């Protein structure tokens, strides 16, 4: 697997983590959005684990 693909996945993973933290820091976090972001982050993590 290309390292650029791994880097892209890692950047996406970090971006999702940042979005989750931003949402959690809001006065009224959107829990449904947080769940969706966490699922996307998990899929990226699983993909990275298979590389």
One DSSP character per residue, 4-41 reads: HHHHHHHHHHHHHHHHHHHHHTSSS--HHHHHHHHHHH
Of the pLDDT bands very low, low, confident and very high (cuts 50, 70, 90), residue 1 is low
pLDDT tens digits, residue range 8-45? Answer: 999 999 999 999 999 999 999 999 999 999 999 999 99
Would you kindly state where each structural domain of the chain is located, as residue ranges? 3-50
């Amino acid at each position: 697997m290309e390292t650029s693909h791994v880097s892209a996945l890692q950047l996406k993973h970090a971006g999702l983590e940042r979005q989750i933290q931003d949402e959690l820091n809001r006065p009224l976090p959107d829990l449904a959005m947080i769940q969706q972001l966490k699922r996307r982050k998990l899929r990226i993590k699983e993909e990275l684990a298979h590389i």
